[in-house]
Structure 1
């Protein structure tokens, strides 16, 4: 029950994940100190803001699972030094070695720390589409990180995953069953979830959002994301959800701010199209029910424009 209470406390205190707080853990490059979400599963919650020098590029969640036979890390981190900072915190929690890193997608904040883990001899696993995305855009991600993070990007290089998979990867260690799964198209190419069936916990990566507005990119096909959610993600029936960004929560919360938002925005754009509206007006469809989310100002109009461009030809 105390872990359910922890989840409820985190849900009730969204200010702790505010994009207005530059750094919650000055003793480390990590934005926040890892917390034990349920027994043996920890997460260092990143800022719900864009990557900045102040947050050291830690604007997504970096999680790890202590299995009794080694540690499984989820996301390598957004830089070499950020990966090292996470490893330093892992060593405080356990003497078990890190044996595996799973990366949630091909974005920089999931993979730019690969070089550190490769130096430690750790296997780094990603979906094949995520690996291809990182191979194509990794140099661009690195250049952006170097510009933002300056000295905090020291040592960071583009290092590919050591292994890829298509549908699922068995990451079980010790007594903990761990499944990395590709459920279908979602936020970005190669998005995976990490599913712990015995604990009813999913580390959802960018398949699910709740405290910050989700971004819709050029390659984000919202109709496919909705289908993936309804046919594969929701049926997991997870009790606990560690999203890609924001505090650990539950399925109701991420449904409200991911699936429901996608359906809502597509509905608004659909009405706009039916009324003969053009792209310039589509940017300003009403999204005020979601205006309280972090990054709303940065993303709402962009999201509307991209959904218009998709739905115009559906």
Structure 2
């Protein structure tokens, strides 16, 4: 059975165009950046662009996934705008007549939660981690205004719809044929990072815990040492066979380990050497990150990442 699933994953990846920042939109018939693909049986994902959010990609630069359980559909991520959530719902209806019974936000960022506005109008419950709910409450309107600036008329109908339910460490959902564990393994990329784990299928919808096709961003509230600890003590322990990352195509643990844990460890090592040599912040921006220069968004993020790691390590 697992071999069959593996072949399905390989086939869906081979059929999909690369989610590149150089491709503005690979599914022009929809507001979605790409048409959803079935990653394993009954688990689907619409893979977003590995570029910053733009009008051309409608802000669909993360993965919008859904699970067809047999007794309803679970959606993972509200999306960056009302228009994206509605477009995803149209695609779900092409796959199944089962109603959407739950939306799970992977964090409190715009691309995870602004589309909650659509789902709230449908009366669908929305689940998020308590820290993500706090971020939505504190910054939701600011995030909405930023989305309106790049999305123009595509922002129509979008409003801040907070989650209707929150959890702290774990929420177990039994729906249809699926046992679903909604997890907060610890601090990582940002407040309230959430992973959706299907232990019987060996698949994790990792959210922004894991990156591989684009460079990960280190935000002001991203503590890299904490992210590494959470990875090593929580995420690795899942021993997932299949990974749907927050951005980029479905893959495996080896790939996300290389480009998430590996990159963070590498960058801390380079900044550590720089500090030992008496280097300052101005030069820290330009430590060698060439092994990762092939990743999408490298030009936008590499120097920022180095500066933030320097600021974190300076007084360790």
Q: How would you bin the TM-score normalised by the shorter chain?
A: over 0.9
Specify which of 185, 188, 191 is matched with residue 186 of structure 1. Answer: 188
CA deviation after TM superposition for structure 1 residue 163, in Å: 0.5
Q: What is the 5 A alignment of 1:126-137?
A: 126-137=128-139
**Residue deviations 1:227-284 (CA, integer Å, cap 9, x gap):** 0000000010000000000000000000000000000000000000000000000000
Please report how far the alpha carbon of residue 62 of structure 1 lies from its aligned counterpart in structure 2 after TM superposition: 0.1
Which digits, 9 at most, give the CA deviation of each residue in 1:197-227, with x for residues without a partner?
A: 0000000000000000000001000000000
Secondary structure at 1:64's aligned position in 2? Answer: strand
Q: Structure 1 residue 22 and structure 2 residue 24: aligned?
A: yes
Match of 2:152 among 150, 153, 161: 150
> What is the aligned length?
314
Taking a change above 3 Å as real, the CA distance of residues 273 and 141 of structure 1, as seen in their structure-2 partners, is same
What is the CA deviation profile of residues 121-158 of structure 1, one whole-angstrom value per residue up to 9, with x for unaligned ones? 10000000001011111111110111111111100001
**Inter-partner Cα distance in structure 1 for 2:279 and 2:173:** 49
The Cα shift of 1:3 comes to 3.5
The answer (yes or no) to whether the contact 1:10–1:247 under 8 Å persists in 2 is no
Q: How does 1:159-170 map to 2 (within 5 A)?
A: 159-170=161-172
The 8 Å contact of residues 37 and 248 in structure 1, kept in 2 or not, is answered as: yes
2:225: which partner in 1?
A: 223
What is the aligned counterpart of 1:45 among 42, 47, 51? 47
**Cα contact 2:12–2:37 (8 A) shared by 1:** no
The whole-number CA distance in structure 2 between the counterparts of 1:12 and 1:125 is 33
Give SS of 1:226's match: helix
- Relative to structure 1, is the Cα distance of residues 174 and 11 closer, same or farther in structure 2, using a 3 angstrom cutoff? closer
Q: Distance in 2 between matches of 1:291 and 1:70?
A: 42
How is 1:231-250 mapped onto 2 (pairs within 5 angstroms)? 231-250=233-252
What is aligned with 2:264? 262
Q: 2:176 corresponds to which residue? A: 174
User: Contact (CA 8 Å) 2:17, 2:26: kept in 1 or not?
Assistant: no
Q: Which runs of 5+ in 2 are unaligned?
A: none
Distance in 1, Cα, partners of 2:179 & 2:166: 19
Residues 64 and 74, structure 1, Cα contact 8 Å, conserved in 2: yes
User: Which residue number corresponds to residue 67 of structure 1?
Assistant: 69
TM-score, normalization by structure 1? 0.98
Where does residue 281 of structure 1 map in the other structure? 283
Separation in 2, partners of 1:96, 1:11: 26
CA separation in 2, counterparts of 1:251 and 1:11?
16
Residue aligned with 2:175, SS: coil
Deviates more, 1:256-265 or 1:3-12: 3-12
Task: Please give the alpha-carbon distance, in whole angstroms, between the structure 2 residues aligned to 1:160 and 1:298.
Answer: 30
* Partner Cα distance (2:194, 2:160) in 1: 20
Q: Which residue of 2 aligns with 1:209?
A: 211
RMSD value over aligned CA atoms? 1.3
Q: Which runs of 5+ in 1 are unaligned?
A: none
Give the superposition deviation at 1:5: 3.1
